[in-house]
Amino acid sequence: MDTNVRLSLMRLSRVFRNICAKVWDPTSLPSLREDVAVTFSMIEWELSGAFFDVMTHLVLHVVEELAICGPVRSRWMYPVERTLGTLKKYVRNRARLEASMASRYVLDETLGFVTEYMQTFTQVCHRL
């Protein structure tokens, strides 16, 4: 990969890491805005204009939302949607959706705890 493309993608990754941070410093907002602008300028220089659409432009607005709403990770629906997608895969009985999801979730959690217990037990036994 070209060095300039790699550098611009690394900068974009750093921007997203700052946007998604658990703890956010409001005094860093001007430097983050500048970093987004410079990063997209670098990307525009290296890639064609077809790369830029509404979704790339939204990164600028997400930075502005930091000042208004606070950290992004507390407002994103992605983790919730991912969990709901997993729960929907558990459905076997369409007549009782919630019961089917709950019983499978409990089963998965139980198997996880038992597996962890057995691994720990095996490690302790090997030490003896």
What is the spatial distance between Cα 12 and Cα 42, in angstroms, rounded to a whole number? 10
Domain ranges of the chain: 3-74, 78-127
What is the spatial distance between Cα 57 and Cα 61, in angstroms, rounded to a whole number? 7
What is the spatial distance between Cα 59 and Cα 55, in angstroms, rounded to a whole number? 7
- Phi first, then psi, for residue 77 (nearest 5°) are -95, -5
- Phi first, then psi, for residue 24 (nearest 5°) are -130, 135
Nearest by Cα to 65 from 40, 32, 17: 32
Q: Does pTM top 0.85 for this prediction?
A: no
Is the per-residue pLDDT at 4 higher than 80?
yes
In this predicted model, what pLDDT tens digit does every residue of 12-38 receive, in sequence order? Answer: 899 888 888 888 888 888 999 999 989
In this predicted model, what pLDDT tens digit does every residue of 53-96 receive, in sequence order? Answer: 777 778 888 888 888 888 777 777 888 888 889 888 888 888 88
Q: Find the DSSP H helices in the chain.
A: 3-19, 29-46, 54-69, 78-89, 97-127
Query: Is residue 52 a contact partner of residue 10, using CB atoms and an 8 Å limit?
Result: no
Number of neighbours of residue 42 by Cβ within 10 angstroms:
17
What is the spatial distance between Cα 122 and Cα 128, in angstroms, rounded to a whole number? 10
